[in-house]
Amino acid sequence: ELKVEQNPLFLSMQEGKNYTIYCNYSTTSDRLYWYRQDPGKSLESLFVLLSNGAVKQEGRLMASLDTKARLSTLHITAAVHDLSATYFCAVDGGRMLTFGGGTRLMVKP
Partner 1 sequence: GAGVSQTPSNKVTEKGKYVELRCDPISGHTALYWYRQSLGQGPEFLIYFQGTGAADDSGLPNDRFFAVRPEGSVSTLKIQRTERGDSAVYLCASSLLPNYGYTFGSGTRLTVV
Q: Interface residues with partner 1 (CB under 8 A)?
A: 4, 31, 33, 35, 41-43, 45, 48, 88, 90, 92, 94-102
Pick 68 or 95: Cβ nearer partner 1: 95
- Residue 14 is inside which H or E element, if any? strand 10-14
Q: How far apart are CA 98 and CA 79, in angstroms?
A: 27
Report in angstroms how near the CB of residue 16 gets to partner 1 at its nearest.
28
Whose Cβ is closer to partner 1: residue 55's or residue 96's?
Answer: 96
Q: Are 93 and 29 in contact (CB under 8 A)?
A: yes
